Each structure stands twice: as C-alpha cells, then as structure tokens.
Amino acid sequence: MLQVQNVAKAFGTQDVLRGVSLRVSRGEVVAIIGRSGSGKSTLLRCINHLETIDSGSIIIGGEAMAQSDASGRAVYKKDAELRRICLKMGLVFQDYNLFPHYSVLKNLVMPQVMVLGRSRAQAKEKALALLEKVGLADKADEYPCNLSGGQCQRVAIARALAMDPEILCFDEPTSALDPQLTHEVLSVIRQLADEQRTMIVVTHEMNFARDVADRVIYMEDGVIVEDGPAQQVLGSERSAAVRAFVGESGY
Amino acid sequence: MKYFNNPEAFIRLVLSMQDGMTATLTIFALTLVFSIPLGMVIALLRMSKHRVVSAPISLYILVMRGTPLMLQLFAVYFAIPMFFGVNLDRMTATILAFSLNYAAYFAEIFRGGIMSIPVGQYEASSVLGFTPVQTFFHIVLPQVVKRVLLPVSNEVITLVKDTSLANIIAVSELFRAAKNEASRVASVEPLFVAGLFYLLMNGAVTLFFSWLNNRFAYYKD
Ligand SMILES: Nc1ncnc2c1ncn2[C@@H]1O[C@H](COP(=O)(O)OP(=O)(O)O)[C@@H](O)[C@H]1O
Ligand SMILES: [Mg+2]
C-alpha cells in the first residue's frame, strides 16, 4: 500500500530524516512515537507531499510519487499526476486547519466537488453520512468557530475521509485537546481502525498506540529505531531506547 | 447668507454644480474599478519569489506612496504626451494617475491580508488536492476580503476627498465647480455645498462598509 524507501530530508544543514524506510499494508494501523524533534511530523509531511524529500522513494498503491534516480536524488512526478497520486493520502493536522469561512457541511462538500468532480448532491450525501459517523450530524450548518476543539478535529477527520483516501495520516491529532476531548477524537480513530482503514498515526498517547495500532514505530533523530507489533515495541520486552522514551513520557 | 437660508436658491446652486458632482463620482468610481484588481495583481507580484519581479514592484510601490499624488497627476497629464506622443484628455489622465496611485496602497493592504492567512490553510488545501489557483480563489481570497475591509474602507474614504486634487489639472470636478461658483457669486457658500457633498458620499461609503462588515460577520477568525 505504502512504501517509503531510504528517504532523506534536510532543512538547510540539519538532517531531519536520515534514511527512513517503512512499509504499510492495506488495513494496517501504524502508530509513530518518538521525542519531539525526532522527525515524525516531517515524515508524515513528506508522505503527504507538504515537504519534498532529497533522496529516496515514496510509492503509494504501486505508484511512485517520488523515486530516486541513478544518483539517489528523488525525482517527483509532474503536477497533475503527482496531485492524483497524492489524493490517495489524507492528512489530519494537529490544529485541524478547517476552512473558517465555510460551514461544516461546506468544508466537506467543496473539496469533493472541486477536486473529485462529484455533484453537489452526491457530495452532500457523503458529507452528511460522514458527519453522522463522527457524531456531528447536528452541526452541519455551524461554522468551525462555534465548535469545540474536539468537534473541529472530528470534522477534520470527516473532511479527510470524504476524499476517500487509501491511507489516512494523523499528526498528533489530540495534542491540542484536553483529556475529555481527546477521548472523543480517539474513539473516532478507534472506530476507523475497526473498519480496517489503513492509517498512520503520530501520537503521544501510548495507551492508544498499544491498544489500537497493529504496529508501532519508534523514531529517534531522524531514523526508525524500532518497528514491530505494538505488543513487542511497547510490551514488557521493550528495548532500552523505547524504555527510556516511554519512561520520560510517563506511561 | 444667500443660499443656505433660501431653499429655492440653494437647489439652484446645487443644480449648477451638478456636472462637477458627476465628474467627481466618475473619478471615484472608475478609480476603484481599476485600482482594486490592479492592486491585487501588484500584491501578488510583490510577493513573487523571483527578485526580478518583486524588486521593481517594490520600487513602484515606493514611488507611488512616496511622492505626492498631485505631482503624479501632473506627471501623467504632461509627461505622457511628451514621452509617448499620445494626448490624454484631463479626465483620462486623472483616472489613470489615481488608479496607479491607489493600486499601490491597495496592494500593500492586500499583501498584508494575504500574509495573515495561516500556512495551515494552504497545507489543508494542498492535502485535499486543490490546485494553487483553486486555493487562492476559494480559500485565501474570501478570508482576505474579510480581513482587509477596515483598511480598505479608510482608503476609499480618503479617495472621496482626494478626487478634489484633479482640479489642479483643470478637470471640472466638484471642487473646481464650487470654486468657480464661489467667485462668480462672491460667496463661500458653494464651497460648503461641496463639503456637504463629500460628507454625504463618505456617509454612504461608511454605510456600505458597515453593511459589508455585517455580511462577513457570520464567522470569526
Ligand atoms: N520547516 C522547517 N524548517 C527548518 N527546520 C524544520 C522545519 N520543520 C521541522 N524542522 C526541524 O526538523 C526537526 C524535526 O521536526 P519534526 O518533524 O517536526 O519533529 P517531530 O514531529 O518529531 O516533533 C526539528 O529539529 C525541527 O526543528
Ligand atoms: Mg510533530
């Protein structure tokens, strides 16, 4: 489904990703954990083409978004094709990034109409079904500024789902929320996991990672240090590096 | 007092200045029609990553905002025929000079508005698959409009009064008409009539912008 091969990325002289490789298969839920600054967001942003990689390959559903040439430098697909491949990915941000000038419903309808060319009626039907799913059917006509953080994040999840991504990514979706609201967002993600959706979730919620993820990846300084079944990476046999990190994060 | 205490004479005075009012309204309206879109284009060029584009635009904005509009009026009216051999009528020269000048001010207001839109809005648009053009027109621009209403209304109010500058290249706008009428009838009252008219125009401008403001009050950002 997703193949990331030997990806490197630097900001100026700072190497942020140093040869990251990972595979995600259909229906898998992967949690990425690690200290702040270890490159988790940058990795997700590269997969969603918000950053460009310097070298390595990113292959989504068998199609290369970027592929390294003979010298190892990453070469990206051209505009329209690149945009089409990127549509297989969805991303939910930490701070939601809803469109404030659109109602909740329009936040979900407009992208479907403008990007996927769906009819308004079709898009609206899909949007309402998704709002129902995240428990916000009654907020369709509200504006984002009138919603709580947890509600905004659930709208953002519904908006991402409306585009039918093959893989949905989350970058610390609950970091801006207090515990009560965190719970309502996590239970939506948990529900998506039960539906066998392919997801990559960067998170600080260790309990969530252990309970919901099939696999846990631990990153440190731009490299993947651990990658395995949740029970193995976070369980009693966990490595010294993960033990130290988990100890710091109070789990 | 000859006019302000005599309704019939007052109306006659106002009617005698009617052409001036029309000219003033024309300068006002056409300047807005040209300078607002031009200002948006200049703002976008000013934000270009390429210095060959942004540097000359910065210079343009500096000159337009850094020299008197009165001087620019002279420059357009006298210098263009001299260098390009085309004769501009007074009204055209006025509207051209005003549009070029106000576009510079609007450009800086729009640039400030565009830069105030959080980067997350662009990132969300990109991830959803919007093209840059779709992102600009559907996501960025509508939010910019709300954010720039106040500074734009300031400029528009200033423009109402600045139209009177056109009298220095002998455009028969309201201020010139009032001056002529004042000396003809040996009274300052025509000048007060002009003042009243500018005030009424700005009353209308103020009402219009508060209406617009209400139309955009449906969300907070
Ligand atoms: N746009 C950027 N420009 C420069 N440095 C950046 C940028 N984005 C992230 N970084 C740096 O890259 C490193 C990894 O950041 P990030 O991927 O956000 O880590 P994480 O999400 O794991 O906390 C950090 O040191 C951060 O300062
Ligand atoms: Mg991060």
DSSP string of A129-191? HHHHHTT-GGGTTS-GGGS-HHHHHHHHHHHHHHT--SEEEEESTTTTS-HHHHHHHHHHHHH
Ligand 1 proximity of A42 Cβ (cutoff 6 Å) = yes
- In total, the C-beta contacts within 8 angstroms joining chain A to chain B are 58
In words, the CATH class of domain B7-215 is: mainly alpha
DSSP A111: H
CB contact under 8 A, A86 and B146: no
Report the atom number in ligand 1 closest to the C-alpha of A171.
21
* Per-residue model confidence (pLDDT) at position A66: 94
B118 touches chain A (CB under 8 A): yes
Domains and CATH numbers, chain A: 27-48+89-248 (3.40.50.300)
Residue A251 confidence (pLDDT) above 90: no
Mean pLDDT to the nearest integer, A59-81: 90
The beta-carbon neighbor of A111 closest among B129, B143, B220 is B129
Write the DSSP string, B177-220.
HHHHHHHHHT-SHHHHHHHHHHHHHHHHHHHHHHHHHHHTTTS-
Mean pLDDT to the nearest integer, A154-176: 96
- Across chain A, what does the average pLDDT equal? 94
Domain range summary for chain B, segments of one domain joined by + = 7-215
For A93-141, the pLDDT digits (tens) are 999 999 999 999 999 999 999 999 999 999 999 999 999 999 999 999 9
In order along its 221 residues, chain B shows pLDDT tens digits of 788 888 899 999 999 999 999 999 999 999 999 999 999 999 999 999 999 999 999 999 999 999 999 999 999 999 888 888 888 899 999 999 999 999 999 999 999 999 999 999 999 999 999 999 999 999 999 999 999 999 999 999 999 999 999 999 999 999 999 999 999 999 999 999 999 999 999 999 999 999 999 999 999 88
Residue A168 confidence (pLDDT) above 80: yes
Residue A247 confidence (pLDDT) above 90: no
- Measured from the alpha carbon of residue A42, the closest ligand is 1
* Per-residue model confidence (pLDDT) at position B201: 97
Report the atom number in ligand 1 closest to the C-alpha of A202.
21
* Per-residue model confidence (pLDDT) at position B2: 84
Check the CA dihedral A97-A98-A99-A101 and report its sign. negative
Residues of A with CB under 8 A from a CB of B: 48-50, 83, 86-87, 89-91, 93, 95, 97-101, 110-111, 114-116, 143-145, 159-160, 163
Q: Which residues touch B85 (CB under 8 Å, ≥6 apart)? A: none
* Per-residue model confidence (pLDDT) at position A250: 63
Ligand 1 site-directed mutation target among A9, A14, A16, A169, most atoms within 8 Å of CB: A16
Chain B environment of A163 (Cβ under 8 Å): 128-129
CB contact under 8 A, B219 and A100: yes
B135 touches chain A (CB under 8 A): no
Residue A79 confidence (pLDDT) above 90: no
CA dihedral A89, A95, A100, A105 (to 10 degrees): 50
- Give the residue whose CA is nearest to atom 20 of ligand 1: A37
Ligand 1 site-directed mutation target among A32, A40, A42, most atoms within 8 Å of CB: A42
* Per-residue model confidence (pLDDT) at position A242: 87
Q: How many Å apart are CA B26 and CA B173, to the nearest integer?
A: 9
